[in-house]
Amino acid sequence: MHTEAFPFGLGTSEGGGGHKPSAAMAGLVNHLKQRGALRSPEVARIMTSVDRAAFLGMGYTGAVAYEDHPLPIGFGQTISAPHMHATALELLRAHLKPGARVLDVGSGSGYLTACLGLMVQPGGKVLGVEVVAPLADRSVGALRGVVPELMQDGTIRIESGNVLAGLLAAEEPFDAIHVGAAADPLPQELVAKLAPGGRMVVPVGPAGGAQALYVVDKDGPQGHAAKPGRGHGQGWDDLEPYGGEAHAGMAGSWPEGVHVTRLMDVGYVPLVRNR
């Protein structure tokens, strides 16, 4: 994720009384629209309604909470830059429908988990998994304050553990998967948990090295293929604005019907494989 800052100076807002829009978040969302990271009214509305400041913990007050860059949230983890949250939501938007099953890997602060929950209600389920137990616990408190109804009715569930160490064994496949930490290599365990017709957004690359954001699409039931795009080889229509190109050289042998597309260079904390 990029590190440039865009301060708005709009002050703080209330973060514990449900998902109430704030002037500061509205200003941030307007910036994301101008930047081109936000492309749909639906995602703009959802991000406006979830106050980023409520998920930052102690130490971040005023305009800094609404700047467009990642911020440390403790335990060696960060909350992603808002433009990366917007990008992930836009890329997954077609799969974030009422009733959808969603996995948020490296859920961290819980901010994006809240947005995902709002997009799949009613009837949807979002599982947020965070490997750092104290951070997972803290995110539960934030989520209960900002989206209490989604925590009470089970729309959102937070687990502490490692998705690459058997935690997902009993879980049904997911329609959408977001990974908030860089995997190296692209985990076949997560590809296997993607439902037919589903999509995963995942950064891939070594810690401190060259990383890129990838989209993994799986063909739908009865072999219904993802719709090919134009102008980028085997890319998909909705990925063209991001410069998506089909990527055949990534390590790993993927089953027929799994399509891997490289989008852009990014920088994330590493996804923990052995813990």
Tell me which residues are annotated as active site.
80
Who contacts 65 (Cβ-Cβ below 8 Å, separation ≥6)?
A: 12, 24, 52, 53, 56, 71
3-state secondary structure of 74: strand
Pairing of strands 71-74, 77-79: antiparallel
* Among 207, 211, 194, 219, CA closest to 250: 211
Q: Tokens 């490692």 map to which residue?
A: 162
CA dihedral 196, 42, 1, 132 (to 10 degrees): -70
3-state secondary structure of 216: strand
3-state secondary structure of 139: helix
- CB count in 10 Å sphere of residue 181: 20
Cα(120)–Cα(130) distance, integer angstroms: 20
